[in-house]
Amino acid sequence: MTEEKVTISIIKKLKKNGWKILSFDYPQSGTGTLIKPDLKEKNLGGFIPDIVALKNDIVLFWENKDRFFYDDFVKIKKIKKSKHFIKPIENFLAGFSYKKIYFGVAIPGIDAEIVKASLYFDCIDFFVVVNPKNIVVLHKASNEIIL
Q: What is the pLDDT of residues 53-65, one digit of tens each?
A: 999 999 999 999 9
Q: Dihedral (C-alpha) 131, 135, 136, 137: value to the nearest 10 degrees?
A: -70
In CATH, which of 2.60.40, 3.40.1350, 2.50.20, 3.40.50 is domain 3-140?
3.40.1350
For residue 138, is pLDDT > 90? no
**CA nearest neighbour of 61 among 108, 98, 16, 28:** 98
Instruction: Determine contact, residues 24/35, Cβ cutoff 8 Å.
Output: no
pTM of whole model > 0.85? yes
Pick from 45-49, 78-82, 127-131: least confident: 45-49
For residue 3, is pLDDT > 80? yes
Q: What is the pLDDT of residues 19-43, one digit of tens each?
A: 999 999 877 666 788 888 876 655 5
**pLDDT of the residue at 42:** 53
Q: What is the pLDDT of residues 63-112, one digit of tens each?
A: 999 999 999 999 999 999 988 889 999 999 999 999 999 999 999 999 99
Q: Where are the domains of the chain?
A: 3-140
Question: How confident is residue 144, by pLDDT bands cut at 50, 70 and 90?
Answer: confident
Looking at per-residue pLDDT, the higher value among 115 and 29 belongs to 115
Distance set, CA 96 to CA 27, 32, 66 (Å): 26, 18, 30
Question: How confident is residue 46, by pLDDT bands cut at 50, 70 and 90?
Answer: confident
For residue 44, is pLDDT > 70? no
